[in-house]
Chain A
Amino acid sequence: MKQITALFQRKQKLNAQSLSLSLFLLSAATFPNSALAETDLTSLSMEDLMNIQVTSVSRKQQTLANVASAAFVIAQEDIQRSGSTTIPDLLRMVPGVQVAKIDANKWAVSIRGFNGRFATKLLVLKDGRSVYTPLFSGVYWDSLDTPLEDIERIEVIRGPGAAMWGANAVNGVINIITKSAADTKGGLVSVGGGSEEQGFATARYGTSIGKDTDLRVFAKYGNSGPGEPENGNAAHDAWQRGTVGFRVDSRISSKDTVTLQTDYTRGSFDETYNLYRLPTAADPSYSWVQDSYSRAYTGNILGRWQRTISDTESLSLQLYYDRFDRDMLILGEKRDTVDLDFHHRFSFGQRQDIIWGLGYRYSHDHLGETPFIKFANPQEGLNLFSSFIQNEISLIPEKLVFTIGSRFEHNDYTGFEIQPNGKLIWTPTSQHTFWASVSRAVHTPSRGERGIQYRFLTIPPTTGITPIPLRLEIDGTSEFKSESVIAYELGYRTEPITNMTMDLALFYNDYKNLRVRQNGIQSLEATNAVLSYPLTNDMHGHTYGAELSASWRIYDWWRLQASYSYLRSIMFLDNGSTDEINRSNGADGAPRHQGSLRSAFNVCKDVEFDLWLRMTDKVKSIDSATIPGYVTGDARVAWKAAKNLELSLVGRNLFQNKHNEYRAEYINTTATEVPRSIYGKITWKF
Chain B
Amino acid sequence: MPLHSTCKLWKKFFCMLPLTVLLAALMPQYASAASPGEHQIKAAMIFNMMRFVDWPESALPNTDGDIDICVVNRGAMTTAVESLRGKQVKGKNITVRQIVKAGGFSGCHVLLLSDTDRQTTSAILEQTRSTPLMTVGDSRGFTAAGGVFGFIILEGKVRFEVNLASAQRHRIRISSQLLKLAQTVLE
Contacts and interface: CB of A to CB of B under 8 A. Distances in A.
Interface of A: 15-18, 31-34, 36-39, 41-42, 44-47, 49-57, 59-61, 180, 182-183, 208, 211-212, 251, 254, 311, 348-352, 389, 391, 393-394, 397-398, 402, 404-406, 414-418, 420, 440, 442, 481-482, 484, 486, 512-513
B74 interface: no
Tell me the interface secondary structure of chain A in the complex.
mixed
Contacts of A393: 24
Contact of A60 (B14, B35, B155): B35
Given A32-B34, A36-B35, A182 B155 contact: yes
A50 B181 CA distance: 9
A404 B178 CA distance: 44
Nearest to B33: A37
A60 B44 CA distance: 17
Interface of B: 1-4, 6, 10-11, 13-14, 17, 20-21, 24-25, 27, 29-41, 43-45, 47-49, 52, 84, 87, 140-141, 144, 152-159, 178, 181, 183-184
Contacts of A481: 2
A486 B154 CA distance: 39
The listed residue with most A CB atoms (<10 A of its CB), out of B43, B48, B144, is: B48
A49 B10 contact: no
Nearest to A180: B155
A39 B155 CA distance: 23
A442 B45 CA distance: 47
A404 B17 contact: yes
A46 B181 contact: yes
Contact of B30 (A45, A57, A351, A404): A351
B158 A49 contact: yes
A350 B32 contact: yes
A32 to B, nearest CB: 3
A487 to B, nearest CB: 13
A15 B33 contact: no
Contacts of A36: 35-36
Contacts, number: 159
Contact of B2 (A44, A398, A404, A417): A417
Contacts of B84: 42
Contacts of A57: 38, 153, 156
A37 B141 contact: no
A60 B14 CA distance: 28
Given A32-B34, A55-B35, A482 B2 contact: yes
A311 B37 contact: yes
The listed residue with most B CB atoms (<10 A of its CB), out of A46, A51, A311, is: A46
B39 to A, nearest CB: 8
B158 A45 contact: no
Contact of B17 (A183, A397, A406): A406
Given A34-B33, A36-B36, A42-B47, A54 B141 contact: no
